């Protein structure tokens, strides 16, 4: 049904609250980069309006730290835009601080705890190789 795949990969050893937080932040990053990803508002039976949501499923995967680093490199090597969350961002309290700490690390030393991307299905499958469905 969809020619593109939207995937989020989180580090498997995170606390549940961290996994949920990282997934939410990364999803917002991918959505911000794809105007065609959001559908129409939802209206309930009594006319109450709710925010629109993604038009397609979001696959949530998990992986260990080294696999996440490989996934980051594969996305960079293929020029696939991604949202990235690093461990040090857990210690900040707002967006400006997140960007400041993020800028201190490159692909070779970032402690990746999550990555999200949307691209052609086959490309996403190749990039996320080694990750498994989140349980």
Residue 72's pLDDT is 98
CATH among 3.30.1180.10, 3.40.1490.10, 3.65.10.10, 3.10.180.10 for 4-38+52-133: 3.40.1490.10
State both tokens at 19: 């996994």
Residue 21's pLDDT is 96
Residue 80's pLDDT is 98
Residue 135's pLDDT is 81
CB-based burial label for 13 (10 Å; 0-12, 13-18, 19+): exposed
Residue 1's pLDDT is 80
Residue 37's pLDDT is 94
C-alpha 3/C-alpha 120 separation (Å) is 6
C-alpha 33/C-alpha 104 separation (Å) is 23
Q: What share of the chain has pLDDT > 70, as a percent?
A: 100
- Stated pTM of the model: 0.94
Domain spans of the chain? 4-38+52-133
Q: Which residues of the chain have pLDDT under 50?
A: none
């Amino acid at each position: 049904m969809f020619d593109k795949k939207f995937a989020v990969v989180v580090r498997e050893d995170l606390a549940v609250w961290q996994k949920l937080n990282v997934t939410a932040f990364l999803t917002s990053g991918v959505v911000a980069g794809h105007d065609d990803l959001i559908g129409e508002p939802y209206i309930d039976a009594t006319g109450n309006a709710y925010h629109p949501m993604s038009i397609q499923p979001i696959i949530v995967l998990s992986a260990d730290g080294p696999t996440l680093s490989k996934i980051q490199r594969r996305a960079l090597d293929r020029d696939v835009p991604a949202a990235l969350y690093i461990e040090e961002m857990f210690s900040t309290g707002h967006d400006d601080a997140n960007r400041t700490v993020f800028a201190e690390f490159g692909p070779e030393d970032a402690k990746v705890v999550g990555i999200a991307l949307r691209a052609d299905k086959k490309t996403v499958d190749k990039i996320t190789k080694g990750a498994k469905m989140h349980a």
